[in-house]
Structure 1
Amino acid sequence: MVEQGETPGQPGREPVFLLPISVTALAGVMAAIHLASTFVLNQQGYNDFILWFAFLPLRIVVAGSDLAAAVPLIWTPFSHALIHGGWDHLLVNVAWLAIFATPVARRYGAGPMLAIFFVSAAAGAAFFAATTLYSGAYLIGASGGVSGLTGAAVRFIFQPVIVAQHPETGERMVMGRHLAGFGDLMRDARARTFIIIWVVLNAAVPVLPLLTGTAIGVAWQAHLGGFFAGILLVGLFERKGR
């Protein structure tokens, strides 16, 4: 059975990459941007790059008095998801992307996968802005978008495989997995446990510095905002009768 968004290969041949092309391309864009920002730009160029393409909530505050300074708010809720602060940051997000973007891309195709990624990144930026509006902090990294793909995947990866019988041949056919409703997620032990652990771990991030005295550079707001955006968005791409 060929899932939507995948192209059948030639008989007897295995694909070179097991990831969908869209997932590989998105990871490649992230890597190319980080390579360019690391090895091509000087320090001033990098500072300007961050200023223009990272998400800076403080721009919302100054929008009333300086409209020109707020113009980057048009694209930075999305562009920040393609920028990373270091190779470790990039590699973690690419690995996370490969795990959760792959089932979403195979089920719905490249367009819906990218839509969930970027809209979830914007939702994560909104949550980030809600808690850092006056701090001057900026947001970079794909974690909000990948969190959205994680939330989207949670809606079906824990559901049992549906097997049907062909009405003429009697052959058993794998039909895929059901997209769980919100009530189903809470009733399913694995999905419920995953969601609870996700929420608790991210909600604990701002509390840990009070206990350890050490700040943790994790945009937990983007993780939570993106995750719940993905859970909600994925239903828009589900075809009736799948």
Structure 2
Amino acid sequence: MTGFFRAAPATIAIAGITAMVSLIVTLLGLEQHAALYAGFMPARASLGLAGDLPGLVPVILTPLSATLIHGGPLHLAFNLVTLVYCGVATEHALGSRGVIILYLLGAYAACVAQWAVAPQSPVPMIGASGAASAVVGAYALLYGRQRTSDVGPVPGWLLQVLWLLAAWTVLNLAIGVLSVRAGMPIAAAAPVGGFLLGLILCRPLLLWRWRGA
């Protein structure tokens, strides 16, 4: 376990902190309370500073606090498995700083995407899927086989990015539709926003990590 942590300390630390906080909230039966006070609520974000009501986590910090709250062990397990599986390999390429940047900015990108599709929604968004999706996006670009060739002036790597984004978007839209039919709607736009950020930042972070090597 020590060797595993040394190989990807940022990924394991993020997963450990998320698991600890989420499980404590769940064991204490405070999921709904935590979602209300620390989840990302698009309607609050639309109000800006006016949405900073006493006792609530400041609006600007809710994209981060929301990643620490989950709707039960299964929700938590799915997000952590995704994060660790993709994060360890991504951290090998981008380094610990790269993964931390991806995760933190991915949390905000996910919330921006969810706010864009439902800016007046009073339903709090919780979970680390959006932030983890940023890591997944970078992982897909780093380790996915490039199957596309240049098309005129459009380079193959850009077509690959667009293909990955389209596939991830369709997948999450399908999951979103199924979740609505099951009576448990999820924030389908959030993972797409995080994934897009991962695709955008992957190359700059890779160059930053290996500059001068």
Shorter-chain TM-score tier: 0.7 to 0.9
Higher helix share: 2
Task: State whether residues 52 and 59 of structure 2, in contact with CA within 8 Å, keep that contact through their aligned partners in structure 1.
Answer: no
Change (3 A) 1:184 1:75: same
**Is 1:185 aligned to residue 130 of structure 2?**
no
The equivalent residue for 1:118 is: 104
* 1:189-242 per-position Cα deviation (integer Å, ceiling 9, x unaligned): xx77654432211233455578xx444533210111000011111222223476
Distance 2:47 2:175 in 1: 28
Change (3 A) 1:73 1:207: same
Change (3 A) 1:196 1:73: same
The equivalent residue for 2:68 is: 82
* 1:162-212 per-position Cα deviation (integer Å, ceiling 9, x unaligned): xxxxxxxxxxxxxxxxxxxx8333566xx77654432211233455578xx
2:35 to 32, 50, 58: 50
1:68 to 23, 34, 52: 52
Structure 1 counterpart of 2:82, which letter?
A: W
Structure 2 counterpart of 1:184, which letter?
A: G
Offset at 1:27? 1.1
Change (3 A) 1:207 1:23: closer
Range with greater deviation from structure 2 (113-122 or 232-241) = 232-241
Q: What is the root-mean-square deviation of aligned Cα atoms in Å? A: 3.0
The equivalent residue for 2:186 is: 218
- Structure 2, unaligned stretches of length 5 or more? 147-153
Distance 1:86 1:209 in 2: 16
**Is 1:155 aligned to residue 125 of structure 2?**
no
The equivalent residue for 1:28 is: 16
Distance 2:162 2:14 in 1: 29
* 1:28-70 per-position Cα deviation (integer Å, ceiling 9, x unaligned): 111110122123x455xx5443233211111134447x35329
The equivalent residue for 2:170 is: 200
Task: State whether residues 90 and 138 of structure 2, in contact with CA within 8 Å, keep that contact through their aligned partners in structure 1.
Answer: yes
Q: Taking structure 1 as the reference length, what is the TM-score of the superposition? A: 0.70
Structure 2 counterpart of 1:81, which letter?
A: T
Identity of aligned residues (%): 28
Distance 2:179 2:9 in 1: 40
Structure 1 counterpart of 2:156, which letter?
A: D
Task: State whether residues 52 and 72 of structure 1, in contact with CA within 8 Å, keep that contact through their aligned partners in structure 2.
Answer: no
Structure 1 counterpart of 2:62, which letter?
A: T
Structure 1 counterpart of 2:52, which letter?
A: A
Offset at 1:135? 2.6
Offset at 1:17? 5.8
**Structure exhibiting the larger radius of gyration computed from Cα positions:** 1
Change (3 A) 1:24 1:129: same
Distance 2:26 2:172 in 1: 29
* 1:125-147 per-position Cα deviation (integer Å, ceiling 9, x unaligned): 11111222223111111110111
Change (3 A) 1:88 1:109: same
* 1:97-133 per-position Cα deviation (integer Å, ceiling 9, x unaligned): 1111112211122111011011011101111112222
Change (3 A) 1:107 1:60: same
Distance 2:3 2:179 in 1: 46
